[in-house]
Amino acid sequence: MWLKRHREFSWCKGDDVRLTANRIAGLLRERGYRLTPQRHAVLRALEASHECLSPDAILEKAREFAPDIGRVTVYRTLDILTQHDLVCRVHAPGGCRGYTMTRPSGHHHHLVCVECGATVDFSDCDLKELEERLGRDTGFELTGHLLEFYGTCPACRKTSS
């Protein structure tokens, strides 16, 4: 599996606590969604892992909780969770993507290892001036951004030496 580990830098200032499956379930109910056993299985699969998981890995783990869950249900649930910022989508070189539960504080970015898929969160981004300039120069009303850096993590650099 490309996406292996996920950790956070200490400069995230205490906002590194992830949402729980039960908290997300409550938020979905508040927003009018039914919490089917299959959706709850997806939440439990995400909660059980401290790694970024591909949709296939989520399906595999979710089947431990709901053996009859299908791939379409996993993708639909991930779409709902992503629309409501309840899971964080991690992009990878080559288009593969993974998911992890969002931290309650929300906004953060990723460092992604191109060798093993290790993902590190960071929340230090000073892009306000760039966003303002881009909006002014292009006429766009910017509503957000996604920032990911790709490279080789220390563990992979060490093993390749």
> Is 88 domain-assigned?
yes
% of the chain exceeding 90 in pLDDT: 36
> Is 115 domain-assigned?
yes
What is the extent of the structural domain holding 81? 6-160
Give the pLDDT score at 3. 39
> Is 42 domain-assigned?
yes
> Is 101 domain-assigned?
yes
Q: What is the CATH number of the domain that holds 90?
A: 1.10.10.10
> Is 112 domain-assigned?
yes
> Is 102 domain-assigned?
yes
Cβ pair 14, 105 in contact under 8 A? no
Total domains in the fold of the chain:
1
> Is 1 domain-assigned?
no
Give the pLDDT score at 106. 55
What is the distance between the alpha carbons of residues 21 and 29, in angstroms, rounded to a whole number? 12
> Is 53 domain-assigned?
yes
pLDDT, tens digit (0-9, with 9 covering 90-100), for 88-133: 787 766 666 788 777 655 567 778 788 877 777 777 777 888 889 9
